[in-house]
Structure 1
Amino acid sequence: MSQFTDFLAQFNNFLTTFFIILLLLVFFYGQNWQGWYAGQQIKKSLKGLNKWKKHGINLIRKIIEPISPEGITTREINDFINRMLDFFVIPPVQLDPPIYGKLRYLMSYREERYSKLIKQFLPNIDKSSLATISALLNATTEIHNLHKKVRHNLIIGEKTKSYLFLLSTASEITQIMIKARAYRTAIDSFMKKSPIGDSIGPMAVNEFLKESQKNNNLNTTDNNHFKMKLQKCDHGIYSSEIIFEERRCICLRPNGPDVIVGNIGEAVENVILELRGEKLHPSILISIDAITRLEGEKLGTVAQG
Structure 2
Amino acid sequence: MIPGLFGGGESNFFMIIQTVITLLFFVMIFFFPRIMLWQIDRKMRSVLDSLDEYRVSAENMFLEKFASDMSAGVESKYESLKNIKMSQPTNLDPAGMVGRLEHVLDTSEDKFKRFVEGNADTEDSEELADLNMAFKGVMGTHQIYKVVRHFRKLIKGTQNIQLIGMIRMMLPLYEELAESQKDATRAFLDQAPIGDAIGPLVAAKMITEEPEEVADNIMHSEEEINDQTVHVLKSDGPGARLGKYGDAIDTLAEENDLEAIVTVDAALKFEGEETGSVAEGVGVMMGGPGVEKSKIEEAATEHEIPLEGVVIKQSAPEASKAMKKEIFDAYKDAKDKAEELASEFDGEVAVVGVGNTCGVGNVKDDTRGIHNRLRKYWKEYEEEEEEVSYMGMMSILPGADQASMKEARNSLIWRTIR
Band of TM-score, shorter chain: 0.7 to 0.9
Partner-residue secondary structure (3-state), 1:251: strand
1:287 counterpart SS class: strand
Q: Which has the higher strand share?
A: 2
Aligned residue runs from structure 1 range 29-178, under 5 A: 29-66=31-68, 72-73=70-71, 75-95=72-92, 96-122=94-120, 125-178=123-176
Paired with 1:288 and 1:151, the residues of 2 have a C-alpha distance of: 38
Partner of 1:231: 211
Q: 1:135 touches 1:190 (CA, 8 Å); kept in 2?
A: yes
3-state secondary structure, aligned to 2:221: strand
DSSP-derived class of the 1:88 partner: coil
Q: Which residue of 1 aligns with 2:403?
A: none
Q: Is the 8 A contact 1:154 1:166 kept in 2?
A: no
Q: Give 1:30 deviation, angstroms.
A: 1.0
C-alpha spacing 1:203/1:124, structure 2 compared with 1 (3 Å): closer
Determine the C-alpha separation between the residues in 1 that align with 2:106 and 2:281: 29
Give yes or no for the alignment of 1:304 onto 2:301: no
The alignment partner of 1:259 has SS state of coil
Q: TM-score under structure 1 normalisation? A: 0.75
The offset of 1:250, in angstroms, is 0.5
Deviation at residue 256 of structure 1 after TM alignment: 2.8
1:196-243, Cα deviation, whole Å (9 max, x unpaired): 23333234335556xxxxxxxxxxxxxxxxxx7542214333322123
Amino acid corresponding to residue 304 of structure 1 in structure 2: G
Q: 1:121 Cα deviation (Å)?
A: 3.8
Q: Aligned partners of 2:231, 2:86: CA distance in 1, in Å?
A: 34
CA distance in 2, matches of 1:204, 1:162: 50
CA distance in 2, matches of 1:127, 1:22: 69
State the Cα distance separating 1:122 from its structure 2 match.
Answer: 4.7
Is the Cα–Cα contact under 8 Å of residues 84 and 137 in structure 1 kept in the other structure?
A: no
> How far does residue 252 in structure 1 lie from its aligned partner after superposition?
0.9
1:35·1:167 contact (CA, 8 Å) conserved in 2?
A: no
CA contact (8 A) 2:223 2:229 kept: yes
Say if 2:67 and 2:119, in contact at 8 Å, map to a contact too: no
Which SS does the other structure have where 1:147 is aligned? helix
The structural deviation recorded for 1:287 is 0.8
Which structure 1 segments of 5+ residues have no match? 1-8, 210-227
Aligned to 1:219: none
Q: How many residues align?
A: 267
How has the CA–CA distance of structure 1 residues 118 and 188 changed in structure 2, closer, same or farther, with 3 Å as cutoff? closer
Give, in whole Å, the separation in 2 of the partners of 1:205 and 1:121: 33
Contact 2:120 2:128 in 1 (8 A): no
| Identity, % of aligned positions | 17
- Corresponding position of 1:215: none
- 8 Å Cα contact 2:55/2:138 also seen in 1: yes
CA gap 1:119/1:254 in 2 versus in 1, 3 angstroms: closer
Residue ranges of structure 2 left out of the alignment (5+ in a row)? 1-8, 283-418
For structure 1, which segment, 183-192 or 98-107, has the greater mean C-alpha deviation from structure 2 after superposition? Answer: 98-107
The change in CA–CA distance for 1:207 and 1:114 in structure 2 (over 3 A counts) is closer
Match of 1:282 among 230, 241, 258: 258
Alignment counterpart, residue 253 of structure 2, candidates 244, 247, 272: 272
Query: Match of 1:254?
Result: 235
For residues 186 and 122 of structure 1, what CA distance do their matches in structure 2 show? 19
More helix by share: 1
Cα distance per residue 1:57-102 (max 9 Å; x no partner): 2222212333x5xxx54x5454232112122332212342211122
Contact 1:57 1:81 in 2 (8 A): no
SS state of the match for residue 290, structure 1? Answer: strand
Partner Cα distance (1:123, 1:265) in 2: 33
Pairwise CA distance, 1:167:
3.3
**Rounded Cα–Cα distance in structure 2 between residues aligned with 1:239 and 1:106:** 26
Pairwise CA distance, 1:124: 6.5
What TM-score comes out, normalization by structure 2 length? 0.57
Which of these two proteins has the greater Rg computed from alpha carbons?
Answer: 1
Cα distance in 1 for residues equivalent to 2:211 and 2:109 = 24
Return the offset for 1:145: 1.6
Which piece of structure 1 moves more, 97-106 or 239-248? Answer: 239-248
Query: Do 1:34 and 1:167's aligned partners in 2 also have CA atoms closer than 8 Å?
Result: no
Match of 2:232, as an amino acid? C
